[in-house]
Amino acid sequence: MKYNIALVRGDGIGPEIVDSAVRVLDKIADIYGHEFIYSSYLAGGAAIDEFGVPLPQETIDGCLASDSVLLGAVGGPKWDDQPPANRPERAILGLRAALGLFTNLRPAKIFPALANACTLRPDIAARGFDLVIVRELTGGIYFGERGRREGANGPEAYDTECYSVMEIERIAKVAFETAMKRRKSVVSIDKANVLESSRLWRETVERIAKDFPEVSLEHMYVDNAAMQLVRDPSHFDVVLTSNIFGDILSDEASQITGSIGMLASSSLGSTSRGLYEPIHGSAPDITGKGIANPIATILSAAMMLRFSFGLNVEADAIENAVNQTLNDGIRSADIAVNGQPTVGTAEMTDEILARL
């Protein structure tokens, strides 16, 4: 099969880790007889330098014309003084909106070989966990009405959380469908004891749940969920959240795995085209040193094969090669503990390729 992949390398370690993922994709193409055709586009700081804006129209058009998009990371101190509307990170929000991506899927699991890098107590880490956060991506407070005004106590600012039934229905369906392919359990996060938007969220999720009788549904307040995630993450299978709650909980969930350089994410809409990216940023502190861990981006490429192209065997092959590499004790600096020897970005990629 032939697929057009838009590569948005971005800034910092972005180019280094995307190139590692391309090497893995190329080997998959060779083994399984596919053709991946790459087109490269600028976004973030690199685009500001070239075009004066973080998300040029050319990048949007190129991504829209592709079968899927693989992104590295954007941002860095060089662009910190840009005005808010022109900051590199705006490129990600803009791409999600332009591609109509309303779902963010963020798996967080503990890799058995890395259990000693987990930040939780050893007895909790030993139980293991494998959850996925299904986060609504284009609604809620990040997109609601906002402003500054004069209030009774002087100047004030406000942001508004607003969700339509349609927005809640479509993300809830994704969560239940995801659960059907996993352990058939959804925990829906809200703050229904306080927020009206959360009460609509809860009612709507309950209605959608009736179409998925095999899936168990539990509601959890967001403050409790933040606590349960560190107390017993093995409790969770699929976690369904609004935009802001998902933003916060998914960072917490990723951090408890102890390995930010390991976690992939995908953003999807109503077509098969997705945006796949590691959850970490552009890591300016290690840029150019050749030591970035490429695994999150390589696993993001595997998610692309699975979710956008339906190539499950090929995605399994990449995930198995990564697991085998870790089981064989190969470590980049971010996941090494107790003085273990480490490899750089290129060597880690070589080791994974050797196990494909």
Which residues of this protein are in contact with ligand NAD, per CB under 6 A? 13, 73-76, 89, 92, 260-261, 277, 280-286, 292-293, 296, 334
Catalytic status, residue 223: yes
| Shortest Cβ 263–ligand NAD spacing (Å) | 10
Q: Helices (DSSP H) in the chain: which residue ranges?
A: 14-32, 45-51, 57-64, 90-98, 122-127, 165-180, 196-209, 222-231, 243-256, 295-303, 312-327, 345-354
| 8 A C-beta contact, residue 24 and residue 351 | no
If the CB atoms of residues 42 and 311 are measured against ligand NAD, the closer one turns out to be 42
| Shortest Cβ 236–ligand NAD spacing (Å) | 23
Residue 218: C-alpha distances to residues 114, 184, 250, 253, 298 (Å): 30, 12, 18, 18, 33
| 8 A C-beta contact, residue 137 and residue 101 | yes
| Shortest Cβ 185–ligand NAD spacing (Å) | 28
Q: Which of 61, 80, 211, 223 is catalytic?
A: 223
| Shortest Cβ 40–ligand NAD spacing (Å) | 16
Number of residues that make up the chain: 356
Q: How far apart are CA 276 and CA 263, in angstroms?
A: 11
The two three-digit tokens of residue 146, written as one number: 């906002």
Q: How far apart are CA 127 and CA 169, in angstroms?
A: 33
If the CB atoms of residues 74 and 217 are measured against ligand NAD, the closer one turns out to be 74
Catalytic status, residue 251: yes
Q: Residue written as tokens 């090494």?
A: 336
Q: Which of 67, 191, 237, 276 is catalytic?
A: 191
If the CB atoms of residues 188 and 282 are measured against ligand NAD, the closer one turns out to be 282
Q: Which of 142, 173, 221, 350 is catalytic?
A: 142
| Shortest Cβ 265–ligand NAD spacing (Å) | 9
If the CB atoms of residues 56 and 75 are measured against ligand NAD, the closer one turns out to be 75
If the CB atoms of residues 74 and 141 are measured against ligand NAD, the closer one turns out to be 74
Catalytic status, residue 285: no
Of 309, 351, 313, nearest in space to 329 by CA? 351
Of 18, 20, 24, nearest in space to 74 by CA? 18
Active site residues: 142, 191, 223, 247, 251
